[in-house]
Amino acid sequence: MTLPDGNPAATPLLELDSATAFYGDLQALFGVKLRIQAGEIVTLIGSNGAGKTTTLRVISGVKRAESGTVRFAGEDVSRVPAHEMVARGVSHVPEGRQVFPFLTVRENLSLGAYTPRARPHLKQSMEEQLTLFPRLAERMNQLAGTLSGGEQQMVAIARGLMAQPKLLLLDEPSLGLAPKVVDEVFEKIQEVQRRGITMLIVEQNVVAGLSIADRGYVVQNGAVLLEDTAKNLLTNEMVRAAYLGL
Amino acid sequence: MTAVLELRNIAKRFGGLRAVKSVSFEMNAGEILFIIGPNGAGKTTVFNLISGFLHPDEGSILFNGKDISRLAPHHNARLGIGRTFQIVKPLKNLTVLQNVMLGAFMHTGRLQQAEAEAGRILDFLQMSHWKDLPAHGLPLAALKRLEIARALATKPKLVLLDEVVSGLTPGEALALAGLVKRLPEWGVSVVGGVEHVMQVVMKIADRIVVLDYGAKIAEGKPAEVVSLPVVIEAYLGAKYKELPK
């Protein structure tokens, strides 16, 4: 699981090949290529506007790739819309958490299990999430907007897990969180991996994001500049200079 | 040192929640002061109290010796208090340049002058390439910088920056921190910041105030504050020292 290119022998859970994407006339992705093996945590790092969030959006179907392919579990899903991607096993936890502030924690979590596949398991699934995030159990009837930033991030992750995904996409899980809370959230992410869920994480907190990852990709100007094991990226001179400011 | 801003035992309640409990500190001329603390510690509330979006239930706030505790935000802005918002608040259908011009209209009624000033500020913040784009399509990090630009256009003496580097890579964050350090060139004499990115806080703060559950639990020079057990326990966490060598 720590081979630089994943394990090429096995079919990757996710594969992006030459994916391009536009916002109006503005091209955001210029042929992104990446692959994720089942069970891995892969972290994307890169400057603002490099195309990391767009990459996640293309994978989850929130945004359609203009050209290139997205393959998930061996199937071409390039034209599959977002709601169907959730049903197929891809949950997207967006940047800035985006919990429903005027719904309770319970309602937020329930909404995560709206798909026909996840709905029958709602009760058991909710119990699983509360085992993972015991703090949410005390907050079930509280409006999500009244929670602290760290708790809202936990709601957002738990809501994504309620759909019983194979692949969880996390966009900046550490954004705006206190250092201590960042540690807590990343410990939870590792627990999610131990449950067998594959994750692709976009993270500006490069150290935290790579510390828990198996592999990482450096994205620049809408394309992959570099890929390697997370460990190698953390000691890579270019990464340290460009993204850690060291 | 002269205190430009003085908070004297300010307190603020929201219903049963005591968001700020008798907090006192000063911001001095020429200083960059950061407020750090856990999510929900009351940092943004303190900024809202200083800028007049909220009024304290108790205590007083003095700006250049004048009590501003009860003044409205637009009044505070005229006195020279500028701020940014953690949840960015651009006028979405205006361009970046127009958003910044709005700030300049506080002290000039002339379109050309406002445009020229806004242009200079956008140059300084290295965002001229965005100037004709509507605010609504910008990435979050650019919107945070737009907040700074708009605040600067009001020609503030004191500027409050609420999480302006969040969402930036450490490299980008340090670059922006370098620009914050240069705000005195724009007539700003005091910078107050709220930030979780400790690399930036440690690099540019002259002094740090730590809030937890609405109370001040520590205050001092950055290096001293981050080694206090009470701060590590409440905020930084045990892993704080672990940066890759």
Q: How far is A141 from chain B (nearest CA, A)?
A: 18
Q: Model confidence over B134-153: pLDDT tens digits?
A: 998 787 778 889 999 999 99
Phi-psi region of B38 (alpha: psi -120 to 50; beta: other; left: phi over 0): beta
Q: Tell me how far apart the alpha carbons of residues B195 and B209 are, in angstroms, rounded to a whole number.
A: 11
pLDDT (mean) for A197-220 = 95
Q: Tell me how far apart the alpha carbons of residues A59 and A217 are, in angstroms, rounded to a whole number.
A: 15
In order of A22, A147, A206, B173, the CA distances from B58 in angstroms are 53, 26, 42, 36
Task: Tell which residue, B19, B20, B18, B17, has the closest CA to residue B8.
Answer: B20
Question: How many residues in chain A?
Answer: 246
Beta strands in chain B (DSSP E): 3-14, 17-28, 32-36, 58-63, 66-67, 81-83, 158-162, 190-194, 207-212, 215-220
Are the C-beta atoms of residues A100 and A93 closer than 8 Å to each other? no
Reported confidence tier of residue A8, pLDDT bands at 50, 70, 90: low
Partner-chain contact B38 A181, CB within 8 Å: yes
ipTM of the complex model? 0.74
Determine how many CB atoms are found less than 10 A away from the CB of residue B91.
13
Q: Tell me how far apart the alpha carbons of residues B116 and B131 are, in angstroms, rounded to a whole number.
A: 12
Partner-chain contact B169 A45, CB within 8 Å: yes
Helix H, strand E, coil C: the string for B121-179 is: HHHHCCCHHHCCCEHHHCCHHHHHHHHHHHHHHCCCCEEEEECCCCCCCHHHHHHHHHH
Give which of B239, B242, B243 to mutate to test A binding, by max A Cβ within 10 Å.
Answer: B239
Architecture of domain B5-86+157-240: 3-Layer(aba) Sandwich (3.40)
Q: Where are the domains of chain B?
A: 5-86+157-240
Reported confidence tier of residue A2, pLDDT bands at 50, 70, 90: very low
Q: Model confidence over A22-63: pLDDT tens digits?
A: 988 889 999 999 999 999 999 999 988 899 999 999 999 999
pTM: predicted TM-score of the whole model, two decimal places: 0.82
